[in-house]
Amino acid sequence: MKPSDIRDENSLRVWLKSRPEATRPSDTVVIAQRGALRVFPLWSGAMGGAWARIADLTALPILRVTLTLGVARIYPTPEVKAADAASAAAATFAADAATFADAATIAARVARVAFAAADAAAAFWASIRADAAALETGTDSAALPLWPDAVPDWFATRDTRARALWAEQPEVWLFWARWWDGVLSGHTLDAELQKQVALIPDAVWQQGPAAVAEAIRLIEDRLDLLQQVSTMKAELAGLQAALARQASAAHRAHNHPPDLIDAPAPIVVQVNTLVAALNEAEAELAKPAPEPGALRRIGALIVDATLTALRYCGGLADTMLQKAAEEIGSTGAKVAIGIGGLSIVSHLEPLKDLGKALIAFAARLLGV
């Protein structure tokens, strides 16, 4: 059966049963999840009603379960599966869908409840056919727009209502607005970020949107620091190689005077210290719950080693510039050596800020 033949619950069920056994469970999740996403604004847009405000209801449980289902398809690890089960248990809407034993029934139920008008139902089933076609070609459906054709008017209207509610508390709903934009456009947020959000402990989710928003901010800041550490490691690796070449016998035989070539040796010690600290920081930041004490210690070490190296560079620069000034008329080689030594500072300055950022992040983890 072809995806183009899918028109209703029965035809979708037949198509799903025709899928290879190895991919059928994942295919079923995709169909059910994206079907649920297409009616999400019916729920999220209604959260401004008096009944929802009185009951303190929000869109968070549905957001959680749909995000987690997408993550579970990419990262079918025990931790993510456990988060998936917890998110489904927390959302009444998702309780039946969590097992995805029959995506056809779920899709048909969604279509019946959500679309009284025939044209709205037709648009829904057209989107299901597009998802099925993508699955048959091995295309990641999450990379496609949620609606293959024009966004239906009813969807846009209710989505506008939901976004207006989120705009009332942007600090709480900013991440979800970005995530939702990615779902709609097919330009989804970073998969690792979504995975870390899915793994937020259930106790935090139970505290509500504000607590989850703060947890997400910590996750994003941690991943940003992890990226900075990775970048700094790459830059220091290049600096280490340059210093090793400068200290080599072959290089020394090619440059004069030798005392200027030997000068960076103390910097090598500090650079090696910094590389070791960055390795430790990388390992700690890769943890979902890094140890604040470890991050504070590593940050202090990075700041201290950086300042020590910068102080040495300052003294070295004074010496080099003085010698260059004395012989400026005789050769340009010594001037070039001096400027080369000064370039080390450009590698070290950002590390000082990174160390301070690690200390500040540790303080946030401690709630200071």
109 or 195, which is more confident? Answer: 195
pLDDT at 267 over 50: yes
Considering the chain, what is the average pLDDT of its residues?
A: 81
**What is the pLDDT averaged over residues 37-48?**
86
Predicted pLDDT at 367: 84
Q: What is the pLDDT of residue 2?
A: 93
pLDDT of residue 95: 41
More reliable by pLDDT, 219 or 76 = 219
pLDDT in tens, 78-90: 888 788 777 766 6
% residues pLDDT > 90 (the chain): 48
Query: How high is the pLDDT of residue 111?
Result: 54
209-245: per-residue pLDDT in tens?
999 999 999 999 999 999 999 999 998 888 777 777 7
Q: In whole angstroms, what is the distance from residue 315 CA to residue 146 CA? A: 60
* Token pair for 255: 């440059």
Query: Band of the pLDDT at 74, cuts 50, 70, 90?
Result: confident
What region, left, alpha or beta, does residue 56 occupy, with left being phi > 0 and alpha being psi -120 to 50 degrees? Answer: left
Percent of all residues in the chain with a pLDDT value above 70, rounded to a whole number:
76
The neighbour count for residue 36, using CB atoms within 10 Å, is 20
pLDDT over 80 (residue 117):
no
Rg for the chain, CA atoms, rounded: 29
| Residues 306-321 as b or e (16 or more Cβ within 10 Å = b) | bebbbebbeebbeebe
Q: How far apart are CA 163 and CA 273, in angstroms?
A: 49
- Is 94's pLDDT higher than 70? no
| Dihedral in degrees, nearest 10, Cα atoms 95, 96, 97, 99 | 90
- d(CA 64, CA 216) in angstroms, rounded, equals 12
Question: Do the Cβ atoms of 208 and 58 come closer than 8 Å?
Answer: yes
Q: According to the model, what pLDDT value does residue 284 have?
A: 97
Query: How far apart, in whole angstroms, are the C-alpha atoms of residue 208 and residue 202?
Result: 10
pLDDT of 269 above 50: yes
**Mean pLDDT in residue range 104-123:** 60
Q: Is 7 helix (H, G, I), strand (E, B) or coil?
A: coil
Mean pLDDT of 118-129: 82
pLDDT (tens digit per residue) in 341-363: 446 677 788 899 999 999 999 99
Over residues 293-309, the mean pLDDT reads 94
Q: Which amino acid is at 19?
A: R
pLDDT at 259 over 50: no
Averaged pLDDT for residues 188-204: 95
| Distance from the Cα of residue 178 to its chain's centroid | 12
Inter-residue long-range contacts of 177-185, CB under 8 Å, 24+ positions, other chains counted = 179/63, 179/67, 183/37, 183/142, 183/146, 184/145, 184/146, 184/147, 184/151, 185/145
User: What pLDDT digit, counting tens, does each position of 324-345 carry?
Assistant: 444 444 444 433 333 344 466 7
Residue 258 is predicted with a pLDDT of 44
CA quadruple 282, 288, 293, 299: dihedral positive or negative? positive
Label residue 263 by pLDDT band (50, 70, 90): very low
